[in-house]
A and B are shown apart, each in its own frame.
Chain A
Amino acid sequence: MATQSDQLLSAEVLPRPHTLLVGTAYATVASVMVFIGLLGLYFAERTATIKAAPPAGRGTAWIETGTISLVPGGMMLGTMAMSVVTMAWAVHSIRRDDRPRAYLALALTALFGIAVINQTIYYYNSMGLTISGADASLQGLLIFVITGAHLVMVGAAVVFLLLMAFRALAGQYSSRQADGIVAASIFWYATVAVYTVIYFGIYVAK
């Protein structure tokens, strides 16, 4: 049976090349909102604790001095900052069809991501906080959940990046269509932005 679409005059479909880009942008917003919610809660608890009088509250210091060393956190920030450069380099290269440098930049970015995962695990072992047993604390819970969620985000970013890198290796992206690499970079930059807030808001401010 003929439908109305059969009778309509035809026109070719317009290109909508940004599907992956838009989808990634939505996923990035959702990921960032997880951290906005958790960090909002963290700062609310921190403020309440600091403002509370010591006998009734949990003391005036949110995290005691010496509990968290700044060195590993700073190293991670440095690693993240370098990954921003390599990620931008990857996008720049693929847009100029400089494939060898694009592959190199993508590999370096992924390596930095894996290094951050490694550094986070080291950081966990050096922190004087715990979430189980008699020493469990609210501070430890919030910090481990927030940084743990960020660890997952970094892992997802690395996987996404590698996936796009393999697609690039297969010749899918070029100066005409670099959406996959740009999408990976959006998620990567969000990962770095979230860590920057964690570093200054949690590790530095204590």
Chain B
Amino acid sequence: MSSIVEIKNLSVRYGATIALQNISCQIEQGDFVGLVGPNGGGKTTLAKTILGLLPPHEGKIALFGQDSREFDEWQKIGYLPQKHTSINPLFPASVGEVVSLGLLSAKKRPKNITTADWQEIDALLKDMGIFDLKSKLISQVSGGQQQKVMLARALISKPEILILDEPSTALDPNSREQFFARLEKLNKEAKTTIILITHDTGYIGQYANKLLYIDRKLVFFGNISEFCPKGKDIASCFEKKDGHIIWHQHS
């Protein structure tokens, strides 16, 4: 197994405020990592630092063996940010155009979305059951549909790593099940490495093989079975280890 995300002694600061301190872990190809921690514990900060959006204050991150500051194969990493509450209602972007933005990292200038690209976008939208939304304005589809569109945008480049930041909050229970079934399929069949930020410990117990638990510092990193013995309710393991955090399990 090869390490495709290697984090060494990582510290991140916002001005004088320490957001992450001395985090180290190695994520292997094909891992499904549940990234958990309390609000303000640094989960999104860690994801953004992996994605190159925030600079490390100390330590370093290697992606596919390359220092993240020199890494330029961003098409290998798909990102689904937290729910898009901030989509500008005036923005005249169609769903198809938004999904096509996920292809830009693999393009050389002058960038162009080709007929073959549009065929791939059509196929993905059909596979995700949202092809009928392709020509609609992104601002005019529901929050749950927007979330599916953003997942399509993250998947269209066929990434080797998928980073998802609380992806299921806007989804109804049925869509949520379909969403996680798709992630499981990607992880098991395409060997896509998944880093899932969530407060839903139930999904972690069901799908993740590793747990990255941070509260500004590293609390735990390793196999789920080391954190919580098989057969035991994972929510109770969190409660035992960190009683002040309200963890919940999906129904």
Tell me if chain B binds chain A: no
Interface residues of A (CB under 8 A from B): none
Interface residues of B (CB under 8 A from A): none
